[in-house]
Amino acid sequence: MQTGISATGPNLKDEYSRFLARKFLVIIVVLVAIIVLAGLAVTLGSAHITPAQVYSCILARFFPHNFQTTDFVDTIVWKLRFHRVIMAIFAGMGLAIAGAAMQGILKNPLASPFTLGIASAASFGASLAIIMGAGFIGGEYLIVGNAFIFTIIASLAVYGLAKYRGISPETMVLAGIAIMYLFSAMTSFLQYVGHAEQVHEVVFWMMGSLGRSSWDKVGIIAMVTVLCSLILIRLSWDINTLGAGDETAKSLGVNVEMVRVSGMMLAALITASVICFTGTIGFIGLVAPHITRMVISGDHRFLLPASGLFGALLLLGADTMARTIMAPVILPVGIMTAFMGVPFFLYLFIKRRKEFW
């Protein structure tokens, strides 16, 4: 940061360790905030059960002799709330890390699953399944499978364009937006020919909700997110170097092509596995990385994990609000993320005038 003039010998070392300590502090603070919020979130909801009942119900699973619970509380906590909270954490984490990686790799602050057309591809896949009943995988996973596969198709298309020689990051986002319009138009067409009930279902799918969560889905999302994120974090030095320009990165011995392909594919894989279960949850992938960048600068070694944590916090907070603010009505979380996130985001913009990108 401001090491420039005064940096000499041991001073520089001190400064660097202070610089690291600050980042670790931010990460720890956010981690603690997630744990506290998760603890609060399981106690909130339309069913009136006390925090004590909730916790004794959770503990009863592990120590059945020491704690007692009732079937009703057990259903509410284990079958409805707990997995939803964990789902919010991992889904938020996945979307944010994928967004941060895409922004870093494409060197563009506008890159996110939404602006690259990936989310609208997922919506198209889901609509195809709901309205036409057509898909790659049949049965229970028809909608999920379609959303997943179209997400991958869209990311391949975006990547194919990115690879095309001479395309600048700006053109890249423009191409992504074009893809977004294409898929939106196809979705609109399907809605136009579909029955009212089917259109209804598509609209609710597109709003994005954690109401579809279950322990199985949490398992899948957690596994994909954690695995892909670890690989992305391993690539973070290389992603940092990409920021200095392809030529510089190449001269430093970075396999630019390989980093870009694997990074984009990992980010797409995370996004696909999250939004195929939740529907399109916007905003987290775009904004969590920016908030993080404002707080702890753009070093991807810290940016990726910290974005993940900020994303988890943001989505968990949004979902908890969505469940409680109009109870017993539960709002789709996709609406809530923007309601809560945009004012905060704009506040950060106004407060910190200096360039952060």
Which residue ranges make up the site for other proteins (CB under 8 A)? 45-48, 72, 75-76, 79-81, 197, 200-201, 204, 209, 211-212, 214, 323, 327-330, 332
Cβ at position 110, least distance to other proteins in Å:
31
- Give which of 230, 300, 237 is closest to 269, Cα–Cα: 230
Output 84 or 293, the one with its CB closest to other proteins. Answer: 84
Cβ at position 219, least distance to other proteins in Å:
16
Output 263 or 332, the one with its CB closest to other proteins. Answer: 332
Output 13 or 200, the one with its CB closest to other proteins. Answer: 200
- Give which of 220, 192, 172, 210 is closest to 41, Cα–Cα: 210
Cβ at position 93, least distance to other proteins in Å:
22
Output 19 or 55, the one with its CB closest to other proteins. Answer: 55
Grouping H, G, I as helix, E, B as strand and the rest as coil, residue 323 is helix
Output 214 or 262, the one with its CB closest to other proteins. Answer: 214
CA atoms of 127 and 307, how far apart (whole Å) = 31
Cβ at position 84, least distance to other proteins in Å:
9
The torsion region of residue 245 among left (phi > 0), alpha (psi -120 to 50) and beta comes to left
CA atoms of 315 and 298, how far apart (whole Å) = 22
Cβ at position 295, least distance to other proteins in Å:
33
> How many CB atoms within 10 Å of residue 34?
21
- Give which of 357, 244, 232 is closest to 297, Cα–Cα: 357
CA atoms of 123 and 242, how far apart (whole Å) = 31
